[in-house]
Amino acid sequence: DEQDVDTLIFVLDGALRSVPMGALYDGENYLIEKYAIDVVLGLDIPDPKPLARNSMNILAAGLKVPPEGFKNSYAVLAEVPDELERIEKSGISSTILQEDRFTQANFNRVLNQDSYDVIHLATHGQFSANRDDTFLLDANGKITLDELPNLFGATTIQASAVELLVLSACRTATGNDRDVLGIAGTTVRAGAQSAIASLWSIDDQASVIFTETFYKEIGKDNVSRAQALQKAQQALMSNDIFDHPRYWSPYILVGNWL
């Protein structure tokens, strides 16, 4: 029954991978206003399981100022401290690494000391057909594509893979047809259950509103990852400054939608 459907799952190919499905418009409403939306990487969809809300643990890391060697190419992300503070105040157990504390070595150390269901990264990142041009930035420089699966897949000392990776960064989901949704797809293929990323550069202030709403929703019982994303996008839509699709539509969920 169509009335019982609340989530749409898309398997996208070619140029459609760079189109935000939530921004599809029927002349009156955007698709995200009616449905929560998820993207999967193929027709072989695994049996999804919901997040364990009563024991959820977040590892959040962020970088306001780009590292040496990147300051001319990347802007200061002034709202990152505020974004991380919203996570800290969400009521969900969290560990925060920011600025000089956000290094790959430190991140790995913390990740291996405890079990984290959700990893949130607020930093610059980019994806390219050239593997050498695909990376996220930490305080020391680049975390490369080859290093990413080791951070987020089941290859860490953690007993299981990360449930949800949130990439609050620039251009993290773009890629050519072979790249399959960039860093988001890479981490999901490596073992992360799901990832939220952006199809193009996102507004720093919009990201704070998105983050606060998303974690408020994801902490609730019976709210799925896709529904929490939907609520966060709708929060931006209802804001007079950020109601244009360029602000709310680039966020996509890849993988497990529950």
Residue 238 lies in a domain: yes
Give the whole-angstrom CA distance, residue 94 versus residue 88.
6
Q: Is 204 a member of any domain?
A: yes
Dist. CA 117–CA 164, nearest whole Å: 6
Neighbours of 50 (CB within 10 A): 14
Neighbours of 41 (CB within 10 A): 17
In a domain, 26, yes or no: no
Per-residue pLDDT of the chain (258 residues), as tens digits, is: 567 899 999 999 888 888 999 999 999 999 999 999 999 988 877 778 899 888 899 999 999 999 999 999 888 999 999 999 999 999 999 999 999 999 999 998 998 888 899 999 999 987 766 777 778 899 999 988 778 766 665 554 444 668 999 988 765 656 555 554 677 777 787 778 899 988 888 899 999 999 999 999 999 999 999 999 999 999 999 999 999 999 999 999 999 999
Is residue 49 within 8 Å of 256, Cβ to Cβ? yes
Query: Does 159 map to a domain?
Result: yes
Q: CB within 8 A of 135, min separation 6: which ones?
A: 125, 126, 142, 143, 144, 145
Per the CB < 8 A criterion, the answer to whether 118 and 168 are in contact is no
Judge whether 61 lies within some domain.
Answer: yes
65 exposure class (CB count in 10 Å sphere: 0-12, 13-18, 19+): middle
Full domain range(s) for residue 168: 53-255
Q: Which amino acid is at 215?
A: Y
Q: What is the pLDDT of residue 159?
A: 45
Single-letter amino acid, residue 93: S
- Is there a contact between 32 and 249 (Cβ–Cβ < 8 Å)? yes
pLDDT, position 162: 84
DSSP-derived letter for residue 237 is H
CATH code for the domain in which residue 109 is found: 3.40.50.1460
Q: Which of 148, 151, 253, 141 is nearest to 195 (CA)?
A: 253
What is the per-residue pLDDT for 153?
A: 58
Contact status, residue 253 vs residue 38, Cβ threshold 8 Å = yes
Token reading at 169? 């960064």
- Note whether residue 80 is domain-resident: yes
89-106 burial code (b ≥16 CB/10 A, e <16):
ebebebbbbbeeebbbeb
What is d(CA 75, CA 62) in angstroms, rounded to the nearest whole number?
Answer: 14
What's the CA gap between 214 and 139, in Å, rounded?
A: 26
Q: Determine which helix (DSSP H) or strand (DSSP E) holds 208, and give its type and residue range.
A: helix 204-218
Question: How many Å apart are CA 107 and CA 138, to the nearest integer?
Answer: 10
* Alpha carbon 246 to its chain's center: 17
**Domain assignment of residue 170, yes or no:** yes
Structure confidence at residue 152 (pLDDT): 61
- Count of domains observed in the chain: 1
d(CA 223, CA 253): 14
Q: Is residue 42 part of a domain?
A: no
